[in-house]
Copies of this chain bind each other. A is one copy, B any other.
C-alpha cells in the first residue's frame, strides 16, 4: 500500500492581517506529503525543485517516510516561487508574485520503484501533465484523486475534461464547481460534474466546511470554528493529504470511509491554518490528531431520538 503524490514543491512569501512570513517552504505536494505521512508510508513524491530547495527539508520529508526519487532537482534554476497577500476575511487573496522558474519545465516522470502504487494524488497542475502521469502507470491505481483550479477551466478545458474521465475523486472549491458546471446551486453543479467522470466530488468551502457528493448522496464536513486563522495557505492541500492518507491507511475506498476521510482532512487543515506555512503540520503528533478528530465528532453530534 503506497501513495504517489504529484505536485509542486516551492517557496512562498505570505502576508496576512496578522503578520508576514519570510520566503518559506510551500507547494501543493509538500503540504500533501506532510499531511499524508501521518497515516501512510511510503509517500512517493513526484515534483521538481531548483538548486535553492533546502536539503534539510528533503531530509525531513525522508525521515517521515516520503520517498523523493521522483523529485527532479534542476541545478541551474531556482524553485517555483509564489507571494500573496490575504485580505481581512482570509478567504480572498491577491497574488503578488508568481515566478514559475523550474515549474515551466516540469515533465513528471514516475520512477520504476513507484509502479504498483495503489493510491494517486494529482495536485493542481496543467491537466496534460496530470494525464501523462496516469498514462505512465502500468497498473491503474485503486483510487485517483484530482485537484485542479479555475485557471485550467479557462485555459485548458478540453484537457481537463479528458483527465476527469480518468479519475475517481475530484477536489474543487465552490467557485470552481460553479465555473466547471455553469450551475450556481452546488447540488446541481455536483450532479453535472458527476456525469463528467469522477464518481465522487468534494467541494471545499474553506471556513464553511466541505461537501462530498456521490450518486444521490451528500455528506457535509464542517470546518472547526477557530479563534484565529493565522495563514490559510496550504489548507486545501493539507485537507487532500489527510483525506487520501486516511483512505490509503485503511485501504477502504467505500463511500462510508470517504466520509471519515473528509473529517480527517478537515482536522489536518484545521491545524495547518494555525501557523505560517507548514510549521504547524510539522509539529503535530498522533494524539493531537486524535484529540481534534474527537472535537469534530462533538461539533456535529446530536440526538434526534427525542424528536
Contacts and interface: CB of A to CB of B under 8 A. Distances in A.
Interface in A220-257: 220-222, 225-229, 246, 250, 252, 256-257
B227 A220 contact: no
Contacts of A205: 208
A128 to B, nearest CB: 33
B260 A306 contact: yes
A104 interface: no
For this chain, the copies found in one complex come to 2
A303 B208 contact: no
Contact of A225 (B220, B226, B264, B304): B220
Contact of A226 (B185, B226, B229, B293): B185
Contacts of A56: none
B222 A263 contact: no
A184 interface: yes
A205 B223 CA distance: 13
Interface residues of A, number: 46
A18 to B, nearest CB: 11
A185 to B, nearest CB: 6
A51 interface: no
B302 A219 contact: yes
Contacts of A246: 307
Given A205-B208, A227-B185, A220 B306 contact: no
Contacts of A307: 246, 260, 264, 290, 293
Contacts of A218: 225, 299
A296 to B, nearest CB: 8
A165 interface: no
A196 interface: no
A217 to B, nearest CB: 8
Interface string A184-224: 11111000000000000000010011010000011111100
A296 B300 CA distance: 10
Interface in A14-70: none
27 contacts: A88-B184, A185-B226, A185-B227, A187-B225, A187-B226, A187-B227, A188-B227, A208-B208, A211-B225, A219-B299, A219-B302, A220-B299, A222-B222, A252-B306, A256-B303, A259-B302, A259-B303, A260-B302, A260-B307, A262-B302, A263-B302, A263-B304, A293-B307, A294-B304, A296-B304, A297-B304, A300-B300
Closest 8 CB pairs of A and B: A259-B302, A208-B208, A300-B300, A220-B222, A187-B227, A220-B299, A187-B225, A293-B304
